[in-house]
């Protein structure tokens, strides 16, 4: 299983399973808690935990079976969505976060995978994009819309003396002509390494990690 497979499985689980089934599956199958310990954590009984766990496993098996039977087909973006994404890409590389703000829905989310999640336009402006917006400088990047693992994604690259390097992979979800979900994989070295190999470009190993480590 690849790093992208793991992310996809977790995202699917969060989207389709009830919270208690998610808790039971993660705590028992991933973190190796006993059913008795999980029962204490979620204020339930040991028998109920076993029942939750069985239903969660069965639901995930059904989803996996359906997925493997279906051929993964890439669905191109509509012209409207592609235009919004292009405005976002141009604004991002130019450090124009005021324009990006106009593209966000009031209830939008911005996730820097593995580091944090901002919910709502005001929180995004204050936190995720606050420092960049106040800086006002161009990020000196190049961007393009690509197909990656059967899905549309935004590729950010940077030119170096040794050629183009992968800086970030970002995905956005658009509803009613507004960005409702923005997700950056900037800190996910394993996923970015897989993407770089697939795209046959080098990974940016010298980018600013803002005090974090890969």
Residue 131: per-residue pLDDT: 58
In this structure, are strands 151-160 and 178-184 parallel, antiparallel, or unpaired? unpaired
CB neighbours of residue 68 within 10 Å: 9
- Measuring CA to CA, how many Å separate 27 from each of 8, 20, 24, 52, 185? 19, 10, 5, 12, 25
Q: What is the pLDDT along the chain (214 residues), one digit of tens a residue?
A: 555 556 667 767 777 788 889 889 889 987 889 999 999 999 999 999 999 999 988 888 877 666 554 444 567 889 999 999 999 999 998 888 889 999 999 999 998 888 888 999 989 988 877 655 555 456 789 999 999 887 899 999 999 888 999 999 999 999 999 999 999 999 999 889 999 999 999 999 988 888 888 7
The 3-state DSSP class for residue 142 equals strand
Which region, left, alpha or beta, applies to residue 211 given φ > 0 means left and ψ of -120 to 50 means alpha? left
pLDDT, position 16: 79
| The CA-based dihedral angle spanning residues 17, 20, 21, 25, taken in that order and rounded to the nearest 10 degrees | 120
* Residue 19: predicted pLDDT: 87
Q: What is the structure's pLDDT at 148?
A: 87
- Distances, alpha carbon 1 to alpha carbons 8, 49, 180, in Å: 11, 27, 29
Tell me what pLDDT residue 129 has: 76
DSSP state of 211: T
Half-sphere exposure of 49 (CA within 13 A, CB side): 21
Q: Could you give the CA distance from residue 14 to residue 124 in angstroms, rounded to a whole number? A: 22
Maximum CA extent, the chain: 61
């Amino acid at each position: 299983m690849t790093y992208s497979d793991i992310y996809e499985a977790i995202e699917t689980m969060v989207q389709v399973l009830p919270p208690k089934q998610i808790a039971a599956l993660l705590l028992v199958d991933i973190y190796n808690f006993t059913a008795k310990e999980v029962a204490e954590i979620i204020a339930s009984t040991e028998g109920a935990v076993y029942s939750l766990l069985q239903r969660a496993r069965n639901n995930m098996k059904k989803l996996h079976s359906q997925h493997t039977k279906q051929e993964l087909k890439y669905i191109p973006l509509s012209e409207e969505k592609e235009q919004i994404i292009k405005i976002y890409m141009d604004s991002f590389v130019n450090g124009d976060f005021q324009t990006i703000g106009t593209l966000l829905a009031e209830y939008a989310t911005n996730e820097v995978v593995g580091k944090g999640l901002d919910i709502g336009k005001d929180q995004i402006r204050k936190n995720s994009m606050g420092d960049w917006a106040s800086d006002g400088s161009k990020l000196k990047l190049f961007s393009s819309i690509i197909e990656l693992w059967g899905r549309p994604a935004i590729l950010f690259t940077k030119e170096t003396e040794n050629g183009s390097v992968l800086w970030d992979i970002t995905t956005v979800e658009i509803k009613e002509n507004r960005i409702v979900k923005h997700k950056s994989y900037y800190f996910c070295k394993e996923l970015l390494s897989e993407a770089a190999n697939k795209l046959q470009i080098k990974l940016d190993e010298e980018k600013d990690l803002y005090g974090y480590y890969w």
